[in-house]
Chain A
């Protein structure tokens, strides 16, 4: 594969590059630190590729415009941070029920509310999953480095198209603002989901058996899109059987593709006694702790980096729980993903949360201490 010259890039800048390479041609948003560089990068670069950038009057409008543009056939993305992520929730649910592909980047900062502007935190793991009302699945990815931000952004765009769903990319302030040297693939070298509008005659936008791409408005295929529960043609229904089929299909389209959607990165001992399970910028501290425990001390320790947070990598955690005595779950909140780990560990391994909530990163030393505790 061909690569561009190495560049020194921020996570937020890598997100812009990933989005453009994956074919994103529409951005709408509202400024908020620490996500603003994404909007600024888009404002500069989208016009050069014939795309559209618009700064909307608020985040609600940003989310709405992104959905509108997706209905018009553009691959669309918006970026925000904590308070703005809260404002977007209603329309994220709309995208979920209406099955409109779009990507929402949330560069997490310390909350609730204005919190500590703009100290890092990982407080929106559960909001990504459950933030919008109603029962529906979601895909959420969380990168731990600049390069990971690049390729998880492209993955987010591809998943959104393939599964016709909103995809949430959870960055954090550290990853968003951190600079690293990266070589990105040369433009046009990526696997990008292609649209194929064949058999338009029989087109059912919400087909119960397959998941056809959305035919953009303006192509002469007339159908209805609504946030009401609807039938295969998009028209509202409250017929219990149709409602049940609809809800099950919405969940099935994600759950039946867990293998494809779930991405994790495992390093360390193959038969570990202790495994660190974490995500985002905390992976970096975990990696340093692993280095010391596994490479220097030669203890059987490993690290599972959850690049996909939702759907939750349940199988991976189950397998680790079978083999390990301890699962350590560091996160920059008061305990969010640790609950999922406990659920799937099912008492087979002891699950210990390591939490920090003072606006700073968890240190390698803090994690190492806990590892040491497991071996003494």
Chain B
């Protein structure tokens, strides 16, 4: 099966800048295959990204691509989508980009339920700047700015998204690219704010410092810990803190992992359609236009 559409890639811009073993390439390829699969026309697709290693993906994709400022990609994308409602907009962000500096834009995009597809490449670290902790660095893990392990608790991106109002949320991993592709297809089909958290690897700035082994070891570990949400007891549980689920999941599955190591629930975590913002805006606009036409004429009276 060849679903990677070459025309969607800027092959002359390759090789990419990512380190060997980086998960960004796997996620980017899944995104390209997903866009091919849903059958969007090339000209209707726009990719917006922030700043970080992951956000460099935009430059390799042969669509209209907008590489913006750190944390602000969703705000740029909001303007773009409102201006060109026909566009299918994918917003590629890093974990720091989306949930630290861009956290405010993230919850408000979710609240509006604007039809954007947020692809968050979660490598648990600030990759580009060399390994500082992010709001997605698991408690206790080391970073250059948390040499003894971070005391801060991490976000659960999808819990954040669901409580802020997003209408589709899924978690995939770089270790299961086909599943990830399927989840991105699901996001593209949802009319509203969709979030796909793509668990990924940064062997250079995260793995090495936390003794997680090679890139392959890291991917293997992610794969082992991944549990399909369908296998977990009820859907409601998947939006609870991962640590709880990890404990239960480990018991149920008879996992051998240390209790510290969490299972990663993967699959569609929530899907709950609701009216979409841009569509509602334009529908209101047409009504307003009809209503105001008479009034406008009066105001427009001219004198020489």
B146 CB–A CB distance under 8 Å: no
- B236 close to A (CB within 8 Å): no
Q: How far is the CA of A94 from the CA of B75 in the complex (A)?
A: 13
Contacts of A62 in B (CB 8 A): 75
**Interface hit among B149-157, B253-261, B280-288:** B280-288
The verdict on B129 contacting chain A, using a C-beta distance below 8 Å, is no
Within B56-90, the residues touching A (CB, 8 Å) are 58-59, 62-69, 72, 75-84, 86-87
- B79-A72 in contact (CB<8A): yes
Asked whether A218 lies within 8 Å of B79 as measured between CB atoms, the reply is no
Q: A224-B58, A224-B59 are in contact. Are A4 and B67 (CB under 8 A)?
A: no
Partner of B84 from the list A64, A72, A183 (CB cut-off 8 Å) is: A72
B2 at the binding interface (Cβ < 8 Å): no
Q: Which residues of A contact B105 (CB under 8 A)?
A: 57, 61, 64
Among A3, A52, A76, chain B packs the most CB atoms within 10 A around the CB of A52
Which of A58, A64, A226 is in CB contact (< 8 Å) with B59?
A226
Q: Are B59 and A235 in contact (CB under 8 A)?
A: yes
Q: How large is the interface on B (under 10, 10 to 19, 20 to 34, 35 or more residues)?
A: 35 or more
The residue on A at minimum CB distance from B51 is A227
Q: Is the CB of A69 within 8 A of B303?
A: no
- B263-304, CB < 8 A from A: 281, 284-285, 288-289, 292, 296, 300-304
Q: Are B82 and A52 in contact (CB under 8 A)?
A: yes
Q: Is B211 an interface position by the 8 A CB rule? A: no
By the criterion CB–CB under 8 Å, are A47 and B289 in contact? yes
B11-25 to A contact mask, C-beta < 8 Å, 1/0: 001000000000000
Interface residue B189 (Cβ < 8 Å from any Cβ of A): no
Whether B46 is near chain A, meaning CB under 8 Å from some CB there, is: yes
A224 contacts B67, C-beta separation under 8 Å: yes
Let me know if A192 is at the binding interface, CB within 8 A.
no
Task: Say yes or no: A48 contacts B43, CB within 8 Å.
Answer: no
On chain B, the residues within 8 Å of A194 by CB distance are none
B37-67 to A contact mask, C-beta < 8 Å, 1/0: 0000011101010010000001100111111
Among residues of B, the one whose C-beta sits closest to the C-beta of A183 is B303
Residues of A near B304 (CB, < 8 A) are 2-3
Q: Is the CB of A64 within 8 A of B303?
A: no
Q: Min CB distance, B52 to chain A, in Å? A: 13
**Are A73 and B302 within 8 A (Cβ)?**
no
Answer yes or no: B141 CB below 8 A from chain A CBs: no
B139-167 residues at the A interface, CB under 8 angstroms: none
Determine if A65 and B69 form an interchain contact, defined as CB atoms under 8 angstroms apart. no
- Residue numbers in B under 8 Å from A290 (CB-CB): none
B68 & A64 in contact (Cβ 8 Å cutoff): yes
A90 to chain B, nearest CB (A): 6
Contact A68 B62 (CB under 8 A): no
B210 part of interface (Cβ distance < 8 Å): no
What CA separation (Å) do A3 and B285 show in the bound complex? 28
A-B contact pairs, 17 of them (CB 8 A): A26-B83, A57-B108, A61-B72, A64-B69, A64-B76, A67-B79, A68-B66, A69-B80, A69-B83, A90-B69, A91-B72, A217-B87, A220-B43, A222-B42, A223-B64, A223-B65, A224-B58
Complex A-B, nearest 9 residue pairs according to Cβ-Cβ distance, in ascending order: A68-B79, A72-B83, A65-B79, A64-B75, A61-B75, A220-B43, A68-B80, A69-B79, A217-B64
New A-B contacts (17) at CB < 8 Å, excluding given A5-B303, A57-B105, A227-B68: A5-B302, A28-B78, A48-B289, A52-B82, A52-B281, A61-B75, A61-B78, A64-B78, A64-B79, A65-B76, A68-B66, A68-B79, A68-B81, A217-B87, A218-B46, A218-B87, A226-B67
